[in-house]
Copies of this chain bind each other. A is one copy, B any other.
Amino acid sequence: MKLASYKNGTRDGALHVVSRDLTRCVVVPDIARTLQGALDNWLEAAPRLQAIYAQLNTGHVSGELAFDPARCHSPLPRAYQWADGSAYLTHVELVRKARGAEVPESFYSDPLMYQGGSDAFLAPTAAIPLRDPAWGLDFEGEVAVVTGDVPLGAGIEQCGQAIRLLMLVNDVTLRNLIPNELAKGFGFFQSKPATSFSPVAVTPDELGDAWQDGKVHLPLLVDYNGTRFGQPNAGVEMQFSFPQLIAHVAKTRELSAGSIVGSGTVSNSDRKVGSCCLAEQRMIETIEQGAPVTPFMKLGDTVRIAMRDAAGASIFGAIEQKVTAHE
């Protein structure tokens, strides 16, 4: 099924069930007022949401509306956890190669992951506020899962069973703040402003055969200023599956329902498919030409992130954002 949270003046928005073709939706306050509420009580809520979803796909439901992504907040406008991996080692290899460093062998068996801020996400069509263009604003196209409760020490199979929903991500990054933060040794902080997610979150069964081994085997489509910038496949070179990434978190602490775990920037070694962030293009330029050519995002720039099924239909709706000055 497909779920969205409409802006309604509250902090968490109003949970809506959305038709598979993203044309219609309906609010479901008798089941759960918010997506977090549904996730908190998933085993009871999910079958009831699924029943509404089935009705919506086969006919009409009382109170249904035309679905409008512009009215959507992030499926979880705020969440209790946003942990982002870096599972596409092509991306990591380029980062390292551009600065003349090797990828440590351990990176192929021990996932990279950082804890992101989760208290205030941007809506999927919200402007990206930029206080200082010198900070080097970049987009990062990713896939993420939303989990149920996961106990401390859970194994990979149990972690896989805890995957409730999938979303697309724009992990907005301030590249020029990263070197100083990495030098301090405490990881990313100011370099990771508010993240955005796709208008719609979907259960794994919506992906059909494209959901294999805990990975999404479809191209992630990233357009920059109206031109295709990248379309790497999110499944083929994902070094760590989502169940493995969740198990990385669960090694030393439990996860609560509604935790979001991200894939990291999707990246393929085939350079013909392009990139899901500007930094990667700049690294390729550095490797090939000695210096980056592509600038970071400017005021007025736009990014669009989406994914289509085998029949060409949008699965999650699109993240569509424009960079604007913050007064």
Residues of A within 8 A of B (CB): 11, 40, 78-81, 83, 86, 104, 106-107, 110, 112-120, 129, 131, 135, 152-153, 174, 177, 180, 182-194, 248-249, 251-259, 326
Q: What 10 pairs between A and B have smallest CB-CB spacing?
A: A187-B187, A80-B119, A119-B256, A81-B119, A115-B115, A193-B252, A193-B253, A114-B186, A120-B256, A190-B252
A114-B115, A177-B252, A256-B119 known; A153 vs B326 contact (CB < 8 Å): yes
A131 with B152: CB separation less than 8 A: yes
Q: A186-B187, A187-B188 are in contact. Are A253 and B117 (CB under 8 A)?
A: yes
Q: How far is the CA of A49 from the CA of B118 in the complex (A)?
A: 28
Minimum distance in angstroms from A278 CB to a CB of chain B: 18
Contact A78-B80, Cβ < 8 Å, known A112-B184, A187-B115: yes
CB contacts (< 8 Å) of A107 on chain B: these are 184
Interface of A is mostly: loop
Pairwise interchain contact B81-A252, C-beta atoms closer than 8 A: no
Which chain B residue has the least Cβ–Cβ distance from A185? B182
B112→A256 contact, CB < 8 A: no
A249 to B252, CA, bound (A): 26
B189 near A114: Cβ-Cβ < 8 Å: yes
A255 near B187: Cβ-Cβ < 8 Å: no
Complex CA–CA separation, A253 to B183 (angstroms): 21
Q: Are B81's CB and A189's CB within 8 A?
A: no
Establish whether residues A119 and B185, one from each chain, have CB atoms under 8 Å apart when the complex forms.
no
Complex CA–CA separation, A153 to B249 (angstroms) = 31
With the chains together, A64 CA to B104 CA distance in Å? 59
Which of A79, A83, A116, A185 is packed against the most chain B CB atoms within 10 Å? Answer: A185
Q: How far is the CA of A191 from the CA of B186 in the complex (A)?
A: 12
Q: Please judge, given known A-B contacts A112-B186, A152-B131, A259-B119, whether A174 and B254 are in contact too, CB under 8 Å.
A: no
26 A-B pairs in the complex with CB atoms less than 8 angstroms apart: A11-B40, A78-B80, A79-B80, A81-B117, A83-B189, A104-B183, A107-B184, A110-B180, A112-B186, A113-B186, A114-B115, A115-B117, A115-B187, A119-B255, A119-B258, A120-B254, A120-B255, A129-B152, A131-B152, A174-B252, A177-B252, A186-B187, A187-B188, A189-B248, A190-B249, A190-B251
